[in-house]
Amino acid sequence: MFHTADDYHNISMRLSEVLDDIGVNEKMTLKIRRWVLLTEPNETIIYRALQFPTTIYNFGSWSEGTTTAGLKSDTDCLLTRDDSNVIQDWSEWTPGKNLLMIQNETTPPGYCLLQRLIDNAPLPLTHEYDNYLVKDTSGRILLKNTWLDTVMIEGHQRQGPSLAITQRPGIVDADSVIAFPCTSWPQSAKACLNNLDENNWPTADMKRYMKTTKCFVVGVGYKVSESADFEWRISTSLAERCLMFNLNITQIRCYILMKMIMKTYINLDNESYISSFICKTVLFYCIASKPLNIWKECNILNCLTYCILTLNRCISCGNCPHFFDHENNLMAGKFSNKVQQELLQTTANLVPCDGMSLFGIQIDDVGERLLIKLNMINGAHRNIPSPDDYTTDCSVHFLIKTAKHFLTTHNLCYAAKDETLVTAFRILLHLMRHYRDGDMLVKVSSRLQVPLICSTIGSLIASHNIEIHNTVSPQALAWLEAGLDSDVASSRLKLASILYCTGDMERAAFILNDVEQQYNIEVTEPACGCYNFSTQIVKRRFGQISTQYNEEELRYIVAYCVIFCSGELDCVPHELQYEMFRSTQEDLPYRDIECDEWMDCAVVDSLPYLYFLQYKTFGNLGKLDEQQQALNKLIWVTVTALNLGHRETAWNLVGQCMEQENRLADALQCYMLSLRIRERNNAAKILICVCLARRIATHTEQTSVGH
């Protein structure tokens, strides 16, 4: 359809504008990558403080900034077992858990076997254990990748090297990959990396950096191997991340367009013949083989055409070599001869990658947007999100995701249960040490995490004080004060709750008034780290601030949910204490052993808890008008707020206020509304029994008086 150089230039520029409009630009890419580089070390610090020798990495398209909302990409979490060490030869042995990498003529390229060694001497292990440390025909004790099945937590299922959380109500599916770190690169990959010296890309600086990165082995065997259970795939994800982080915006856009084309024309009916990783590898080869000055906005169509042609050649010979191990064919076993011919025909029809092939892309309305840009259709009255909408949605997504990350990692304090205070102190010390020695992003991460830990430490000490002396020590108050700026409300509400429980109603009312002043209804959004739920439409001003500022703005526009563990029992009004006992024996099987630990705590969203505490505090102060206003606000927020993570708890609190008002029928209605939201593991079941007992007692008393 388009043949002249001017046509290609014009379409390329309009196509670049389309991708810019849907958030594929330098600003958003850097913002997304910043989130990854901020949260990875934070999570690693927390896990190590909890004495789990683990390093956390987030890989995948979102972590690279190479996706869009319409592509619905995921982020793979890779957890390395740092107490284990994969070595290439005996000279690398150190005391501890060592695994010797074996690569020979029997192992497929890109894969290896792992021989288990003795911990305290450079000698091979000689005895088998269970069914995953098994002796092979050469007498070596090999670790089978089925070992992952033994560490799999209940509620997960094995999907290749990943441990996936099976779908449950309120829980989003997620993948975690457990990996062993390697002391050095395998010889085959090292040779490929050295051979890159002949090219202008990667640059010399990139190659020097990549040689310092770790590689990993992950538990999955070669697709067509007879010994797949014994094989481990070698991963160079950190080196690949280096390449991705050094792409220019046109190269990123080419990669995203390739994925959109694959999803539109190739990978139909949930098939994945051409994976994103294959597209990425093809892009690497194209960049390495072409002059860097061709990768510019006005030439994106030609660049994309070259990528599709390269992919077509790979399909034709059934071989797409791994960029860091050319003997490893990424297409091996991916499709049959019949499918291969179909793929060849389809990719051939996509070349040249002019408007005809791009107009059919419905993902993020790319095709329609391009037609509008080229004035081929009228864009008026078409329901297409504006560029500002895309930027705002993406900014909001990652700011809320960051907020939930910090709350989720903070909640790991409660994993130790009986040693929560010791655990919180240990985490705090680790954060402070890394703040002192870490880079700028580690410092930012620590500044956001530390106040939450301080607030928890203060609350745990205060609970102990109240239990013994019914007062709060200066030490506890100092810790609570250090945590006040964790966010808009939650830490201040903890302090108000503690003052309420000691009977200091005047100071509690003062703190609550301060929280209400800071909680801007038009801006502040709630954030919950207990479980994954879909954040609905966010406030317009929250979106504007998310676009303009970075994660440090969290403290002024986000309100975390308030969480009390059993060690903070004496800081919690009795109405909220019911939430700590929400699970009956019948409910327990419906809890996820990993994701639902929060259910042993009392958890409530900040705004409902603010109004509930005001209701109780004003009642104790005899301010009955203010008390009724607080109750009305509590009902209003429970009914209307869009993004409450614990609406069922809010209804339970409303119900208990209704009981205090002697409106028992209304209280029962509130508890039933709570059960509609969370049928299992809900304190509403207990509260219904208590309320019914009270109704029966009241009716009996009235009948007795009548007689």
Q: Which of 518, 467, 522 is nearest to 493 (CA)?
A: 518
The CA distance from 556 to 403, in Å, is 12
Q: Is the pLDDT of residue 533 over 80?
A: no
Query: Mean pLDDT, to the nearest integer, of 501-509?
Result: 97
Q: What is the mean pLDDT of residues 520-544?
A: 88
Instruction: Tell me the average pLDDT across 265-275.
Output: 86
Q: What is the pLDDT of residue 172?
A: 36
- Which residues, including other chains, have CB under 8 Å from residue 75's CB and lie 6 or more apart? 58, 59, 60, 61, 62, 63
Q: What confidence score (pLDDT) does residue 504 get?
A: 96
Q: Is the pLDDT of residue 168 over 80?
A: no
pTM of the model: 0.88
Mean pLDDT across the chain: 89
Which two three-digit tokens encode residue 439?
Answer: 């880079």
**DSSP string computed for 524-563:** -EEE--SS-----PPPHHHHHHHHHS-GGGHHHHEEEPEE
Give the three-class secondary structure for 176.
strand
What pLDDT does residue 199 have?
Answer: 65
CA 291 to chain centre: 37
Q: How confident is the model at residue 166 (pLDDT cuts 50, 70, 90)?
A: very low
Name residues whose C-beta falls within 8 Å of residue 574's C-beta, 6 or more positions apart in sequence: none
What pLDDT is attached to residue 3?
52
Mean pLDDT, residues 503-512: 97
Q: Hey, what are 520's tokens? A: 């801007």
pLDDT value, residue 197: 66
Read off the pLDDT of residues 117-134 as tens digits, 9 standing for 90 and up: 999 999 999 988 888 899
| Sign of CA pseudo-dihedral 504, 509, 515, 519 | positive
| Mean pLDDT confidence for 147-174 | 50
Q: Which residue has the tokens 């506890």?
A: 476
Q: CB-hemisphere CA count at 13 Å for 64?
A: 30
Tell me which of 38-52, 476-490, 618-632 is least confident: 38-52
- Could you give the domains of the chain? 1-22+247-383 (1.10.1410.40), 83-243 (no CATH), 389-573+594-636 (no CATH)
Q: Give residue-wise pLDDT tens across range 510-523.
A: 999 999 999 999 99
pLDDT tens profile 1-32: 445 677 889 999 999 999 999 999 999 999 88
* The pLDDT value given to residue 173: 43
Question: Which contiguous run of DSSP H or E holds residue 308?
Answer: helix 300-317
Q: Is the pLDDT of residue 550 over 90?
A: no
Residue 164, pLDDT > 70, answer no
Q: Name the band, by pLDDT with cuts 50, 70 and 90, for residue 558.
A: very high
In the predicted model, is pLDDT for residue 157 greater than 60?
Answer: no
Q: Does 198 have pLDDT greater than 60?
A: yes
Tokens of 158: 């094995």
Beta bridge partners of 85: 98
The pLDDT assigned to 382 comes to 83
What is the mean pLDDT of the segment spanning 535-551? 88
pLDDT of 356: 82
- pLDDT tens profile 179-190: 999 988 988 888
Higher-pLDDT residue of 698, 278? 278
* pLDDT tens string 649-696: 999 999 999 999 999 999 999 999 999 999 999 999 999 999 999 888
Over 594-632, what HEC string results?
CCCHHHHCEEECHHHHHHHHHHHHHHHCCCHHHHHHHHH
> 547 near 514, Cβ under 8 Å?
no
Question: Residue 154: is its pLDDT beyond 60?
Answer: no
